[in-house]
Structures are given as structure tokens and as C-alpha cells.
Structure 1
Amino acid sequence: MQNIIGIINNFQIYIIGALFIIVIILFIMVICAFKSLSRMESRYRKFMRGVDNKNLEELVTGYLDKIDKVEKNSDDIKELYKTLDSRVKGCVQKVSVVRYRAFEDVGSDLSFSISLLDENNDGVIITGIYGRNESTTYAKPVDRGISRYDLSEEEKQVLQNCLNKI
């Protein structure tokens, strides 16, 4: 034990110098830590202040309210789309026209048949027959792609053309 105390007494100046250097290094490290903490605190305060001096909680709440409004608008638009889609299904979506010469003594293809169908292939076939002395126009209803009335060849052709359309 005396030996160790003697060695410490001989190197006492060196030991004190080394401890002094360690204390200075630790002091510098503490100063750097405080400086870093100060920067972090200022960034935190700026972050919590938010935009235009509103705090972060108010901003998040405002954005969540906006998201709720957008969801409600989206649901309203979906309902409107469904309504419009059901209404459009009943509109004329398929059209076909065939012109032809009904009588040999008439010059051009002045007679016609028009088929107007919706998505369910419901609609009407309108036929106009032109002759030298008179002209006749009539309609035949179509239900699910079939007419309960007899169809001429031209009317069958115009109906088939219309049914083949997508």
C-alpha cells in the first residue's frame, strides 16, 4: 500500500493535470449539449407555434375538420352519381338508321327506319315510308330487344344493328 501511495505522490502533478484536462473536455461537452438543447428547444417552440402563430393542435383539428367535410362531399357526389347513372340508363343510348327505297317507282332512298334503344334494349323503331302520292310514318315499341309487332326486313336490320352496339 505504501508503494502505491508513493507512486501517486511521485506522479501527483501528472494525475492532477490529466484530471484537469478531463474536466475541461467534460465542460466543453456540457456547453455543446446546452447549445444543442437550446437549438432543439427553439425549433420545438417554432414547431408548436405552427403557421401564423396558431398552435399545432389547432392546425391538426382544422385539417381533420376539412377532411370530414371532404368525406361528406364525396358521399354526396356518390349519391348524385348513382342518381344520374340510374337516369342515364333510361336514356337513348343506341341509335341505328337504315335508308332504303320502299317502292320501285320512287327515285332515291327516301324511306327510312330508325331504332332508338336504351341500356335495357327498350325503345322504339320509327319507320317512314315515302311514296309518290303519300308518305306514312309509324312507330313500333321494342321491349328488351323484341317487338311484339311484325317487323319488316329493314326494321329487323335496324334493330339488329342497334342491338349489336355496345
Structure 2
Amino acid sequence: MQNIISLIGSLQPYIIIGLAVLVLILLIMNMVIFTSLSRLEKRYRKIMRGSNNKNLEELIVGYLDNIDDVKEQSKDMKELYNSLNLKIKDCIQKISIIRYRAFEDVGSDLSFSVALLDGKNDGVIITGIYGRDESTTYAKPIDSGMSRYELSQEEKQVLEECVNKKI
């Protein structure tokens, strides 16, 4: 026993230095742990903001419920979009107009032809012929880009322009 005490006494400065190094290492580790804990606490508070002391499970369930609601709304919006897309195909989407002089004795380009077509090239050509003594307006139906009625040169031109327009 006496030998152990004398051995410890002779190694005492080394033991004190070793313990001081060990305390210093533990102090540094403690500071690193507190820093990590502080960052973790900030992240936790950021996640839990506005939770009014709810636990994490309640918060996640609430977020998942919100996600389900948004999915349902998205599904409804897609259905509405598809419905509107089908309706829009039947609306006038292409318009072309040409003005011209129908008669030599009339001064200006007062006659016109207007083509109004939907996405399937169905629609109408409206033509107004202006003369010195009278004016006439008439319409010709268009089915798939073609007319059952004879078209004038101007009407053919306006129909071709309208059919070739990109939607």
C-alpha cells in the first residue's frame, strides 16, 4: 500500500496535468453540446410556431389534414379546367376580316367579309356588300373549314386565313 501511495505521489504532477486536460476536453465538449442543443431548440421552435402548446403529433396530423384538403381542391380544379376546356372548343377562337371594294363606282373599301370559327373550324362567314344605292349583309355557315354555299374570292381568302390561324 505504501508503494502505491509513493508511486502516486511521484506521478502527481502528471496526473494533475492529465486531469486538467481531461477537464478542458470535457468543457469543450460541453460547449459543443450546448451549441448543438441551442440550434436544435431553434429548429424545434420554428417547427412548432403557432402550435399553441400542441404536441408534435397533433401538429403533423393538422398539416396532413391541410394537405388532404389541398389535394381535394386540386382535384376539383382539374375537373373544372377539363370542363372549361371542353366548352372553350365550341367558342369562337379564330377571326379573320378583309375589307374590299365590291363595285368600281363606290369610292372606298366599304365592303367586308368576316370569318368567325371555333377550334374545329366550324362557324360562319359574314359578308357585307356596300353599294351606292343599297347595302346587303349575309352569312354563310362553315362546317370543318368548308361551306355548302358558293364563296366569293374574298370569302375564300378570309376563310383560308382563318382556318390557317393557330389557336
TM-score, normalised relative to structure 1: 0.75
Q: Which residue of 1 aligns with 2:138?
A: 138
Unaligned 5+ segments in structure 2 are none
Per-residue CA deviations over 1:17-56 (Å, capped at 9, x if unaligned) read: 9889989988998999999989989998994994421110
1:129 corresponds to 2:129:
yes
Q: Could you tell me which of 7, 12, 17 is aligned with 1:11?
A: 7
How far apart, in 1, do the equivalents of 2:34 and 2:6 lie?
A: 44
Q: How many residues align?
A: 160
State the 1:128 CA deviation.
0.8
1:100–1:135 distance in 2 versus 1, CA, 3 Å: same
Distance 1:59 1:94 in 2: 52
Question: Which residue of the partner structure matches residue 113 of structure 2?
Answer: 113
Structure-2 residue corresponding to 1:78: 78
Aligned pairs for 1:60-79 within 5 A:
60-79=60-79
Q: Percent identity?
A: 54
| CA deviation map 1:54-110 (0-9, x unaligned) | 110111000000000011111111111111111111111111111111111111111
Task: Quickly say closer, same or farther: Cα 1:101–1:28, change in 2 above 3 A.
Answer: closer
Could you tell which deviates more after superposition, 145-154 or 17-26?
17-26
**Which runs of 5 or more structure 1 residues have no equivalent in the other structure?**
1-5
Residue 156 of structure 2 corresponds to which residue in structure 1?
156
Kindly provide the amino acid, as one letter, of the partner of residue 140 in structure 2: K
Q: Equivalents in 2 of 1:110, 1:28: separation in Å?
A: 99
Query: Which residue in 1 is equivalent to 2:99?
Result: 99
How big is the alpha-carbon RMSD for the aligned residues of Structure 1 and Structure 2?
A: 3.2
Q: What's the secondary structure of 2:80's corresponding residue?
A: helix
Q: Partner of 1:3 in structure 2? A: none
Distance 1:73 1:110 in 2: 52
Change (3 A) 1:131 1:44: closer
Give runs of aligned pairs for residues 42-61 of structure 1, distance below 5 A.
47=44, 50-51=48-49, 52-61=52-61
